[in-house]
Amino acid sequence: MLDVLIFAVLPYFAIALAIFVTPYRYFSNRLDWSTFSTQFLERRSLYWGSIPWHYGVVLILAGHIIGFLFPSTIQSLLSDLSALIALESIALGLGLMTLFGSIILLVRRFSGVVRAVTSYADWVLLLLILLQAATGVYMGLFVRWGMEWYLHTAVPWLYSLLTLNPQIGFVSGLPLVFKLHVAGAFLILAVLPFTKLVHFLFLPLDYLKDPPILYRWVRREKQLGK
């Protein structure tokens, strides 16, 4: 029953929410579609949380997607033991970066001014992101070799979802931590349109090269009569 819920019901529910709520949010209140200025709130812990989290999660997700799109190419690559060990080690490093970043981002939310602008949905999302990184790293460490078995279990199950014929037999025998990881992934998708993370849909790639926007107070100059 739990397997049906996680592997057949939750994915479609989450996709439907993402498809219908996201455009509604975009057209109903466009000004709300962003994170707040980092300089007005708090910058130091944001830096230590945001940088490792963003670089970690983007590369890890790219790895998940490449495995999904090109399973046979990745399979032949991983048949070389040294390649398998090297790629697993890189993934573990990135996973640890993501985990570290998500802990800092969550702790930062407890500080006064940041807490004041955090909605319930943002709290839920941050907890889910932390759970996602923690279950991923746990698998990387204790359910060896995830990159390999992912190709023969999760990938065919994900394809079966796409063809509207969920074959949960591919994944129902996997350990509980994997089920939590998958449930976490689709819960993130479900709450995403209600949170600040929705800003990622703008693909803010320019942020990687642009300097941060700096705001300057002008009050002091006015007082000095300038």
Q: Which of 10, 14, 91, 191 binds ligand HEM (CB under 6 A)?
A: 91
Q: How far is the CB of 60 from ligand HEM (least distance, A)?
A: 5
Which one, 8 or 92, has the nearer CB to ligand HEM?
92
| Region binding ligand HEM by CB under 6 A among candidate stretches 2-10, 22-30, 115-123, 178-186 | 178-186
Q: What are the φ and ψ backbone dihedral angles of 22, each rounded to 5 degrees?
A: -60, -50
What are the residues whose beta carbons fall under 8 Å from the beta carbon of 224, sequence distance 6 or more?
Answer: none
Cα separation of 22 and 28, whole Å? 10
180: DSSP letter: H
Q: How far is the CB of 199 from ligand HEM (least distance, A)?
A: 15
Does 95 contact ligand HEM by CB under 6 A?
yes
Other Cβ atoms within 10 Å of 189 Cβ, number: 17
Q: Which of 60, 105, 130, 198 binds ligand HEM (CB under 6 A)?
A: 60
Q: How far is the CB of 165 from ligand HEM (least distance, A)?
A: 17
Cα separation of 8 and 167, whole Å? 8
Classified as helix, coil or strand, 119 is coil
| Region binding ligand HEM by CB under 6 A among candidate stretches 40-48, 88-96, 111-119, 193-201 | 88-96
Q: Which of 49, 52, 136, 166 binds ligand HEM (CB under 6 A)?
A: 136
Q: Which of 25, 54, 64, 109 binds ligand HEM (CB under 6 A)?
A: 64
Using CA atoms, how far residue 62 sits from 65, 67, 140, 179, 181, in Å, is: 5, 9, 16, 21, 17
Which one, 92 or 168, has the nearer CB to ligand HEM?
92
Other Cβ atoms within 10 Å of 73 Cβ, number: 11
Cα separation of 36 and 213, whole Å? 12
Residues 193-212 that bind ligand HEM (CB under 6 A): none
Closest C-alpha among 120, 161, 170, 122 to residue 16 = 161
Q: Which of 41, 46, 92, 127 binds ligand HEM (CB under 6 A)?
A: 92
Cα separation of 9 and 12, whole Å? 6
Which one, 26 or 138, has the nearer CB to ligand HEM?
138
Residues that bind ligand HEM in the complex, under the rule CB under 6 A = 57, 60-61, 64, 88, 91-92, 95, 98, 132-133, 136-137, 139-140, 146-147, 150, 154, 181-182, 185, 188
